[in-house]
Chain A
Amino acid sequence: MTHSKQYDAIVIGSGITGGWAAKELTEKGLKVLMVERGEDIPHRTGYKNEMKAPWEMPFRGEGDQNYLDEHFPVQQHSGHLDEWNQDYWVDDKAQPYQTPDDTKFRWIRGYHLGGKSLMWGRQCYRWSDYDFSANARDGIGTDWPIRYKDLAPWYDKVEEFVGISGAKEGLPQLPDGQFQPPMVLNVVEQYMRDQISQHFPERRLTIGRTANLTEGKPEEGRVQCQNRSICARGCSFGAYFSTQSSTLPAAQKTGNLTLITNAMASRLIHDPDSNRISGVEVIDTQSRQTTTYHGKLVFLCAGAFNSVALMLRSVSAAFPNGLANSSGVLGKYIMDHASTVGVASVIPGFEDRYYYGNRPTGVVVPRFVNLEEQDQPFTRGFSYQGGAYRASWSRGMKQAGIGKSFAQRLQGPGDWKFVLTSFAECLPRAENAITLDPDKTDADGFPQLQIRFSFSENEYKLLHAAKEEAAKMVVAAGGKVLFGSDQPNPGGSAIHEMGGARMGRDAKTSVLNGYNQAHDIPNLFVTDGAAMASSACQNPSLTYMALTARAVDYASQQLAKGLI
């Protein structure tokens, strides 16, 4: 074991929140060490398959299914993994976890510089007070210690830097932000927006709010989106927000950042005398050498479940049940949106219309139930994301036909499809929890996680209503419903896993306070998805970013005052 020098702050993880923590801390003049367990994927030069055509890939972009089944039995269900980007996902064989009894959970991960920011869905939505007051309103879960007004200026800040394109709609349940010009609805989406507004005045279809630039940021080396929609390969244009394209160069520009990759934080060391995290044990995954780093502040941004796992591993006499776990709720109240295809349909009447280019976002239909009135046989709500497109050649794999007429038919586009995926809010429940497996270890020798997760009756009711309402909108617009589901995909499928170290007002029932600071340990901040006390029904990453920037501001002030 070696010992290293003192930093002002140590950031564990380099994904969406780790990148933000590093940027904000370094820009405040603090000397920061960022620790990333995986390998470096440099911006541009690391995106090895970005420009390759299907015929230049050994398996035409599909991947070797036998290899995928052996190494990515979970990750291949992410909806984003393909042959171009398969190296960005964890090898499930090397990084297994357990789902006890008959529970299921798809834990989707990327262990490399940038984490999931490299492959994420880029949808960015503000949460509203319908969300931050949800737990208080129906008494399920503990009240958030913050409200929208606390986060609004931080949403402003992160949106401006990230570069989020979107349309202002004036909806209280999905507050407007500092948007770049919106991407444009295609002809059928515009028709559906008009039809939905006409038949259901309280509902709105709008373009997705996405972290893809419609206006370049040349001063940051970022070019506007080229409408390729192959973002998850990595984007040399820097057109979407990732650690590589955005926060890392900003942090490096300060000269205050030290980044180490292939460096896994194995344990946080708690000093009972000062009641501070006094060191972070880090294993070099290549040499297996352990080094202890010291920081006045520790920002835990390893991804919701891995941040909790690190806290569960970091036991001591003072915290025998997990670090900063005097409340006993560490690992509990995990969530993921219940998601499924609400409706898949055909919209007739536009057969002579098409589009050019691949817009890297779909549309969104924000929540419209249980807002001011709680008038449904369920609590909370659901929203939809989806879009309209014309089927391409792959429909030929599902249709009858051979010969010239078949080949000629497939040369043109197919039907206009309109699809809405339902996202239902997931209630925070104590029985949904992660723990350390007492026996099984991963390839690095650390205890595997046990993820015990199931959806409750409320999520099933929400998805049932979402299916029915989606079909109504399609039928009202003259569309033909092909399919709809009210059965959730396995937990984790939305890749919005969150909770496990929730924020709260009471140290007896929560792990973190209103500034993402551990109630028990003043210099420990957890600002990734682990901090969430409820799930809302919209994507959470923007909120993680805003919480991180806000927590850094608070922490640096406390540090300056000598209170940490």
Chain B
Amino acid sequence: MNSIENQQRRVWLKQAMAACGLIMAPSAVWAASSPDGATVPAWLTAVCDCVIPDTDVPGAVAAKVPGFVQMAADHGLEGAKASLIAQFEHLFNEYSGNDLTTLSETRLEAHLEPLDSAAYSHPRGQALPDVYAAWKTLKSLIVLGYYTSEIGASQALRYVLVPGRFDPDVPLSDNPKAFSSDWTGVKYG
């Protein structure tokens, strides 16, 4: 399924479900698969959509980030363990008192925002609770997966493999988008 079809399908599903009075996230309806062929839990697709939704360019779901996250965790990227996905589901349920698999995307977002805020403001030097650590790793993989995808790298951002020149001082107003191909800016953040 290409990204445009995917996006259209999501919009259609949202409208169709709203018409039926359903509040279930479209991500719960179909499951993505990772590049390794593993099936991705529907809630992970919803989480990816919450972190990087469609803006003026397609978001994380269209960029097939859920499948990437599963594959990346299996291969240890960003310090993830293969159990990250299952572990986060367990920790999130424990933390929020909810079942991640049945939350609507709206309610999911309402839970993720404070979790995200707390995880990134946790005082340095104090032991990071497991749910915060798991969330930060999961979010890192979502961000990584999106901005290294073709959509994220070349539509949300600018990708120029062969600049051919170096301009040392350019008004940002000329084009406000960052370069995904600024390897220094990417490497050192």
Binding site for B on A (CB under 8 A): 51, 53-55, 58-62, 64-67, 69, 183-187, 189-190, 226-230, 351-359, 387, 389-404, 406-408, 410-414, 417, 419
Q: Which of B166, B183, B185 contacts A356 (CB 8 A)?
A: B166
Q: Which of B19-55 contact A (CB under 8 A)?
A: 35, 50-53, 55
Report chain B residues within 8 Å CB of A230: 183
Q: State in angstroms the CA–CA spacing of A60 and B150 once bound together.
A: 10
B113 to chain A, nearest CB (A): 6
A-B contact list, 18 entries, CB within 8 Å: A54-B180, A58-B35, A60-B148, A65-B77, A69-B76, A228-B162, A228-B163, A229-B183, A230-B183, A353-B170, A355-B166, A355-B168, A358-B166, A358-B184, A389-B184, A389-B188, A407-B55, A412-B176
Q: Does B87 contact A (CB under 8 A)?
A: no
Q: Which of B166-189 contact A (CB under 8 A)?
A: 166-174, 176-189
Q: State in angstroms the CA–CA spacing of A358 and B177 once bound together.
A: 15
Q: Does B149 contact A (CB under 8 A)?
A: yes
Q: Which of B51, B121, B139, B172 contacts A351 (CB 8 A)?
A: B172
Q: State in angstroms the CA–CA spacing of A392 and B166 once bound together.
A: 17
Closest chain A residue, CB of each to CB of B178:
A413
Closest chain B residue, CB of each to CB of A396:
B143
Q: State in angstroms the CA–CA spacing of A54 and B55 once bound together.
A: 22
A387 to chain B, nearest CB (A): 7
Pairwise interchain contact A227-B72, C-beta atoms closer than 8 A: no
Report chain A residues within 8 Å CB of B127: none
Query: Lowest 9 A-B CB distances belong to which pairs?
Result: A392-B185, A65-B76, A357-B163, A400-B120, A357-B166, A60-B148, A393-B147, A187-B169, A54-B148
A299 to chain B, nearest CB (A): 36
Q: How large is the interface on B (under 10, 10 to 19, 20 to 34, 35 or more residues)?
A: 35 or more
Pairwise interchain contact A392-B189, C-beta atoms closer than 8 A: yes
Pairwise interchain contact A410-B184, C-beta atoms closer than 8 A: no
Q: State in angstroms the CA–CA spacing of A370 and B184 once bound together.
A: 32
Pairwise interchain contact B166-A417, C-beta atoms closer than 8 A: no
Report chain A residues within 8 Å CB of B184: 229, 358, 387, 389
Q: State in angstroms the CA–CA spacing of A394 and B189 once bound together.
A: 5
The number of residue pairs between A and B whose CB atoms lie closer than 8 Å in the complex comes to: 197
Q: Does B75 contact A (CB under 8 A)?
A: yes
Pairwise interchain contact B161-A53, C-beta atoms closer than 8 A: yes
Closest chain A residue, CB of each to CB of B120:
A400
Q: State in angstroms the CA–CA spacing of A387 and B145 once bound together.
A: 27
Known A-B contacts A51-B161, A62-B77; A358 and B189 likewise in contact (beta carbons under 8 Å): no
Closest chain B residue, CB of each to CB of A344:
B188
Known A-B contacts A64-B76, A393-B186, A400-B120; A411 and B168 likewise in contact (beta carbons under 8 Å): no
Pairwise interchain contact A353-B183, C-beta atoms closer than 8 A: no
Pairwise interchain contact B166-A184, C-beta atoms closer than 8 A: yes
Closest chain B residue, CB of each to CB of A65:
B76
Q: State in angstroms the CA–CA spacing of A331 and B185 once bound together.
A: 40
Q: State in angstroms the CA–CA spacing of A395 and B120 once bound together.
A: 12
Pairwise interchain contact B72-A413, C-beta atoms closer than 8 A: no
Interface string of B76-112 (1 = CB under 8 A from A): 1111000000000000000000000000000001001
Pairwise interchain contact B53-A407, C-beta atoms closer than 8 A: yes
Interface string of B129-169 (1 = CB under 8 A from A): 00000000001100111011110111011011111111111
Pairwise interchain contact B173-A66, C-beta atoms closer than 8 A: no
Report chain A residues within 8 Å CB of B113: 402-403
Besides A354-B174, A392-B157, 7 other CB < 8 A contacts? Answer: A226-B163, A355-B169, A356-B167, A392-B186, A393-B143, A399-B120, A402-B113
Q: Which of A58, A66, A184, A358 contacts B183 (CB 8 A)?
A: A358
Pairwise interchain contact A352-B171, C-beta atoms closer than 8 A: yes
A76 to chain B, nearest CB (A): 12
Report chain B residues within 8 Å CB of A391: 185, 188-189
Pairwise interchain contact B59-A407, C-beta atoms closer than 8 A: yes
Pairwise interchain contact B164-A227, C-beta atoms closer than 8 A: yes
Pairwise interchain contact A403-B109, C-beta atoms closer than 8 A: yes
Q: State in angstroms the CA–CA spacing of A414 and B184 once bound together.
A: 13
Q: Which of A392, A412, A419 contacts B182 (CB 8 A)?
A: A392
Closest chain B residue, CB of each to CB of A237:
B162
Q: State in angstroms the CA–CA spacing of A78 and B161 once bound together.
A: 23
Pairwise interchain contact B75-A59, C-beta atoms closer than 8 A: yes
Pairwise interchain contact B178-A355, C-beta atoms closer than 8 A: no
Pairwise interchain contact B109-A402, C-beta atoms closer than 8 A: yes
Pairwise interchain contact B149-A55, C-beta atoms closer than 8 A: yes
Report chain A residues within 8 Å CB of B147: 393-394, 396, 410
Q: State in angstroms the CA–CA spacing of A408 and B161 once bound together.
A: 23
A193 to chain B, nearest CB (A): 12
Q: Which of A58, A352, A410 contacts B156 (CB 8 A)?
A: A410
Q: Does B126 contact A (CB under 8 A)?
A: no
Report chain A residues within 8 Å CB of B161: 51, 53, 228
Q: State in angstroms the CA–CA spacing of A93 and B132 once bound together.
A: 34
Pairwise interchain contact A393-B188, C-beta atoms closer than 8 A: no
Known A-B contacts A53-B161, A229-B183, A396-B147; A419 and B168 likewise in contact (beta carbons under 8 Å): no
Closest chain B residue, CB of each to CB of A185:
B168
Q: Does B2 contact A (CB under 8 A)?
A: no
Q: State in angstroms the CA–CA spacing of A293 and B174 once bound together.
A: 63
Report chain B residues within 8 Å CB of A359: 166
Pairwise interchain contact B109-A393, C-beta atoms closer than 8 A: no
